[in-house]
């Protein structure tokens, strides 16, 4: 009987099986690293067509899903390099966020590597050490992926970015389309400046608008209001990001396969043609990334109600019907 002991963040687990090594390799080899590249390709063909906003949303959803896939594999490699199957079956998203944040902030974590304060750059050097290139090229590949994963982590940890993803993923609670913001001085008080005198702060055709929960009373979740949120993005950035996510996933899987006894000659590693490619997911700017303009609701504007009164309202409704 085989066993692998590991933690997910700080929670201990023991994974047992008669064929644990074989199942772990089967699991790793079953992951399709090219999936996100495929999503990028099929949707890029519709970005300038009638369904461009739907295509853009597909890219946006895949991008967040791809980031979770990538970081879950990386974190499994850091904490359970010989039992990725067990680690990925055990983690919850809140735990993944904590680990990614700790690595991002160079905080000490449970790690099977000698570096307990591991960084994305350090981990990239572990992963990308099997290239038969010049030392100069290996260096920019290692540094490039390290910086790429750092910037991916910034997106993954962005609260508004996650809220937008969850709004689209759960119930399709998003309105398609971006926004723009312009400012101009009023020549007559109360009268907006004419369009030709407005100065654009930026904007995008692509993005979403959605609602998030905003608590009215800080210590109670019972009382809240829906707050308007909007975000802009560029599909071209997402396309580039998805291609680099696919490449990253492939390399992490190859690294894990080698650690689990697979011949390195059978493990493919990929890299961009140039180091400039690592910047492409952020190559096109929108000026204004997000906006939240809404009315103000204060504690003094409401009459707090108890949970009991809310539940009793159903009884009152039953009596009326």
Q: How many CA atoms lie within 13 A of 177 on its CB side?
A: 4
Residue 317, C-beta contacts closer than 8 angstroms, at least 6 positions apart: none
Give the model confidence (pLDDT) of 227-246 as tens digits.
Answer: 999 999 999 999 999 999 99
Query: In whole angstroms, what is the distance from residue 12 CA to residue 9 CA?
Result: 8
Q: How far apart are the first and last CA of the chain?
A: 63
| Region 11-26 average pLDDT | 98
- The more confident residue out of 315 and 224 is 224
Query: In whole angstroms, what is the distance from residue 285 CA to residue 288 CA?
Result: 8
Residue 220 has pLDDT above 80, yes or no: no
pTM of this structure:
0.92
Give the model confidence (pLDDT) of 109-134 as tens digits.
Answer: 999 998 888 999 999 999 999 888 99
Q: What is the pLDDT at residue 316?
A: 67
| Region 300-311 average pLDDT | 92
Question: Six-digit token pair at 211?
Answer: 């609602």
Mean pLDDT, rounded, of the chain: 94
281 and 62 Cβ atoms separated by less than 8 Å: no
Q: Is 2 helix (H, G, I), strand (E, B) or coil?
A: strand
DSSP string covering 138-158:
HHHHHHHHHHHHHHHHHHHH-
Residue 321 has pLDDT above 60, yes or no: no
Give the model confidence (pLDDT) of 131-164 as tens digits.
Answer: 889 999 999 999 999 999 999 999 999 999 999 9
In the chain, the DSSP E strands lie at 2-8, 11-17, 175-176, 180-183, 199-203, 207-215, 224-232, 290-291
* Sign, CA torsion 252/253/257/258: negative
Q: What is the pLDDT at residue 318?
A: 62
Question: Six-digit token pair at 250?
Answer: 């492939």
Work out the percent of the chain whose per-residue pLDDT is above 90: 87
Task: Give me the helices (H) in the chain, please.
Answer: 20-30, 35-44, 52-79, 84-90, 93-104, 120-127, 135-157, 159-169, 235-259, 307-320
Question: Six-digit token pair at 18?
Answer: 């008669």
Helix axes 20-30, 235-259, angle to 10 degrees: 160
Q: What is the pLDDT at residue 320?
A: 58
Q: How many CA atoms lie within 13 A of 212 on its CB side?
A: 19
Task: Break the chain into its structural domains and give their ranges.
Answer: 2-173+233-287
Distances (CA, A) of 11 to 14, 103, 159, 215: 10, 17, 24, 31
For tokens 């952020």, what's the residue? Answer: 282
Q: What is the pLDDT at residue 131?
A: 86
**201 phi, psi to nearest 5 deg:** -95, -5
């Amino acid at each position: 009987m085989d066993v692998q002991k590991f933690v997910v963040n700080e929670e201990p687990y023991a994974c047992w099986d008669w064929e644990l090594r074989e199942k772990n390799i089967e699991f790793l080899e079953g992951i399709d690293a090219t999936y996100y590249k495929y999503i990028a390709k099929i949707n890029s063909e519709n970005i300038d067509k009638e369904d461009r906003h739907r295509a853009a949303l597909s890219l946006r959803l895949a991008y967040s899903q791809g980031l979770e896939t990538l970081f879950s594999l990386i974190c499994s490699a850091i904490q359970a390099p010989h039992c990725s199957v067990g680690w990925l079956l055990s983690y919850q998203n809140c735990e993944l966020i904590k680990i990614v944040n700790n690595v991002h902030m160079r905080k000490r974590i449970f790690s099977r590597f000698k570096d307990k304060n591991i960084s994305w750059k350090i981990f990239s050097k572990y992963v990308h050490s099997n290239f038969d290139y010049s030392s100069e090229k290996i260096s920019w590949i290692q540094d490039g992926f390290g910086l790429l994963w750092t910037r991916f982590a910034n997106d993954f940890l962005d609260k508004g970015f996650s809220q937008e993803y969850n709004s689209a993923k759960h119930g399709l609670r998003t309105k398609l389309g971006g926004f723009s913001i312009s400012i101009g001085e009023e020549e007559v008080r109360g009268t907006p400046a004419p369009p030709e005198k407005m100065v654009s702060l930026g904007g995008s055709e692509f993005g979403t608008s959605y609602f998030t929960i905003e608590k009215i009373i800080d210590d109670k979740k019972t009382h809240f209001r829906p707050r308007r949120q909007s975000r802009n993005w560029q599909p071209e950035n997402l396309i580039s990001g998805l291609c680099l996510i696919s490449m990253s996933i492939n390399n992490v899987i190859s690294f894990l396969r080698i650690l689990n006894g697979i011949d390195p000659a059978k493990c493919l590693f990929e890299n961009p043609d140039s180091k400039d490619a690592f910047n492409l997911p952020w190559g096109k700017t929108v000026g204004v990334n997000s906006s939240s303009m809404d009315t103000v609701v204060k504690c003094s504007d409401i009459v707090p109600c108890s949970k009991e009164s809310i539940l009793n309202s159903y009884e009152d409704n039953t009596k009326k019907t």
